[in-house]
Amino acid sequence: MTVANTPSQPLRVAIVGAGPAGFYVAEHLFRQTEVPVEVDMFDRLPTPFGLVRAGVAPDHQKIKSVTKVYDRIAQKPNFRFYGYVEFGAHLHLDDLKAHYHQIVFTTGAQTDRNLNIPGEDLSGSYAATEFVAWYNGHPDYRDCQFDLSQERAAVIGVGNVAVDVARILCRTPEELRQTDIADYALEALSRSKVKEVYLIGRRGPAQAAFTNPEIKEMGELAGADVAVPPEEAELDALSQADLEKSGNKLIARKVKILQDYAQNQPSDKERRLTLRFLVSPVELFGDEQGHLTGMKLVRNELYVSQSGVLRPKPIDQFETLPVGLVLRSVGYRGVPLPEIPFRQDWGIILNEQGRILAPETNQPLTGLYTAGWIKRGPSGVIGTNKPDAAETVKCMLADVGQGAVLSPPQPEVAAIDNLIRDRNPNYISYQDWLRLDELEQTKGAEQGRPRVKFTSIKEMLTALGRE
Ligand code: NAP
């Protein structure tokens, strides 16, 4: 099969966003044999891999080894990477439409959801997404400051990101030194005064969003005890009935882990992590300088919602938790892209199975697609993006079959290359990235660490002899 109206041309595809979803789209396109494909992948950062580099916790190196798969995809002769090329700044939708038959947006979810409670913006209250990007050396966040002089901290939310953040706050400097955490974060966290960390769940243990290996790991920290108030580890009647009905072994195991934590006796470890359940923050409050000093919590009970899910509702019982540091970890949120239809309420690109839709007609916009978190919202693990990308690629190939592709006036490989060189002569190729990767790993090896990251774009360009 050849691209409609361009019989001698391979299908030219632009992928915007070099995270897992983007690489899985490329992989699925290369796997099929019916349509010859050329892929150009763009990222606004010089470095590829999205949240695998800037989101996955530095002490979870095994998860990061998935980049070996992406490396293999990038070695295909019909793949090119253009790092440090930003959609909406260096390249616009019309530019891409002029050079590609299909364009796929895989930009992920780059910001955080709000709690919408008073005091959320006090100094000392931060989005967990920023903290994560900071300790992972994301160039946009390297200058952030987090007040680690506080002894008591709370992480709001009980998803895997909340667990990552709490774990990083509880790790000893020795533990952190073995990771690829950003150097400045290693230094700041080594001086951290944080002793008590609370994880705040608005529902019960059976509804906690974190997964079992992640919560189990909390019990294995060198420098922190884990605790759960025994009464909060118990299941309420609705959760108990739900669990018995579903027979869900993973949830039963999760509850057991938490109930075991509730039996823990304090040791002489320096830090303590306490998991709280069935409480919601209703207000953050501070001192006269506007610095956070505490959090007001309301107790919840669960009820069966219309969809059958157990939801929290506040009862009239309040408590105050004195904390000087709050990290809000209630989910990531997608950011709209210039000229691309967006569903503000869900924080995703308007789409059906990956085909981007026109808001006026709800009909697919020819040649425009999406995959990953910006398509479906911030859920699932890295591997979830594989079937998600497959769904998008299936639509793309079906549309090729129908001749429903863009008709770029300049589909030649050299044309876009010239345009990019013109717009940003400092763009980063995959070869450039491999060089940066090697330099990071070499520096890491000298220190017994997986890598020492470049955390500023200037440093990266200098290392490549560009400035
Ligand atoms: P998440 O799993 O959706 O968890 C969000 C948490 O925030 C939930 O506990 C949620 O409670 C809570 N929450 C939401 N709104 C709230 C509010 N107004 N007040 C109090 N709590 C609120 O999101 P995430 O932790 O950001 O993770 C995103 C995805 O990445 C997940 O699929 C996660 O598994 C994945 N991830 C995986 C790993 C790993 O595999 N190691 C690491 C990091 C992230 P409710 O459940 O009650 O809504």
Q: How far is the CA of 111 from the centre of ligand 1 (A)?
A: 14
- Please report the pLDDT score of residue 9 as a whole number: 80
Q: Tell me the per-residue pLDDT of 168-204, one tens digit each, with 9 for 90 and over.
A: 999 999 999 999 999 999 999 999 999 999 999 999 9
112 lines ligand 1 (CB under 6 A): no
Q: How far is the CA of 315 from the centre of ligand 1 (A)?
A: 23
User: With bands split at pLDDT 50, 70 and 90, how would you rate the model's confidence at 5?
Assistant: very low
- Please report the pLDDT score of residue 411 as a whole number: 92
Average pLDDT over residues 456-465: 97
Q: How far is the CA of 226 from the centre of ligand 1 (A)?
A: 20
Q: Choose one of 131, 203, 327, 330 to mutate for the ligand 1 pocket test, by most ligand atoms within 8 angstroms of C-beta.
A: 330
Pick the atom of ligand 1 nearest to 384's CA.
32
- Please report the pLDDT score of residue 364 as a whole number: 98
| Centroid of chain to Cα 183 | 21
Burial 117-151 (b: 16+ CB within 10 A, else e): bebbebebbbbbbbbbbbbbbbbebbebebbbebe
Residue closest via CA to ligand 1's atom 36 equals 160
Residue 225 makes CB contacts below 8 A (sequence gap 6+) with 264, 266, 267, 269, 271, 272, 273
Beta strands 355-357; 351-352: pairing state: antiparallel
Residue closest via CA to ligand 1's atom 21 equals 157
Q: Tell me the per-residue pLDDT of 54-87, one tens digit each, with 9 for 90 and over.
A: 999 999 999 999 999 999 999 999 999 999 999 9
Kindly list the distances between the CA atom of residue 453 and the CA atoms of 52, 141, 156, 367, 463, in Å, as whole numbers in the listed order.
13, 14, 28, 37, 12
Residue closest via CA to ligand 1's atom 18 equals 115
334 lines ligand 1 (CB under 6 A): no
- Please report the pLDDT score of residue 8 as a whole number: 58
Q: Tell me the per-residue pLDDT of 250-302, one tens digit each, with 9 for 90 and over.
A: 999 999 999 999 999 999 999 999 999 999 999 999 999 999 999 999 999 99
Average pLDDT over residues 21-38: 97
Task: Give the Cα separation of 28 and 16 in Å (integer).
Answer: 16
Beta strands 355-357; 125-127: pairing state: unpaired
Q: How far is the CA of 329 from the centre of ligand 1 (A)?
A: 7
The yes-or-no verdict on residue 6 having pLDDT over 70 is no
User: With bands split at pLDDT 50, 70 and 90, how would you rate the model's confidence at 7?
Assistant: very low
Average pLDDT over residues 209-227: 97
Task: Give the Cα separation of 126 and 115 in Å (integer).
Answer: 11
160 lines ligand 1 (CB under 6 A): yes
Q: Choose one of 161, 199, 381 to mutate for the ligand 1 pocket test, by most ligand atoms within 8 angstroms of C-beta.
A: 161
As beta bridge partners, residue 16 has 42, 105
333 lines ligand 1 (CB under 6 A): no
The share of the chain scoring above pLDDT 90, in percent, equals 97
Residue 73 makes CB contacts below 8 A (sequence gap 6+) with 23, 26, 27, 30, 79
64 lines ligand 1 (CB under 6 A): no
Q: How far is the CA of 163 from the centre of ligand 1 (A)?
A: 9
Average pLDDT over residues 316-328: 98
- Please report the pLDDT score of residue 139 as a whole number: 98
The yes-or-no verdict on residue 330 having pLDDT over 90 is yes
Q: Choose one of 64, 168, 202, 212 to mutate for the ligand 1 pocket test, by most ligand atoms within 8 angstroms of C-beta.
A: 202
Q: How far is the CA of 160 from the centre of ligand 1 (A)?
A: 6
Average pLDDT over residues 80-106: 98
Q: How far is the CA of 331 from the centre of ligand 1 (A)?
A: 5
Q: Tell me the per-residue pLDDT of 406-437, one tens digit each, with 9 for 90 and over.
A: 999 999 999 999 999 999 999 999 999 999 99
The share of the chain scoring above pLDDT 70, in percent, equals 98
429 lines ligand 1 (CB under 6 A): no
159 lines ligand 1 (CB under 6 A): yes
Mean pLDDT for all residues in the chain? 96
Q: Tell me the per-residue pLDDT of 123-152, one tens digit each, with 9 for 90 and over.
A: 999 999 999 999 999 999 999 999 999 999
- Please report the pLDDT score of residue 356 as a whole number: 98
158 lines ligand 1 (CB under 6 A): yes
User: What is the value of pTM for the model shown?
Assistant: 0.96
205 lines ligand 1 (CB under 6 A): no
- Please report the pLDDT score of residue 46 as a whole number: 98
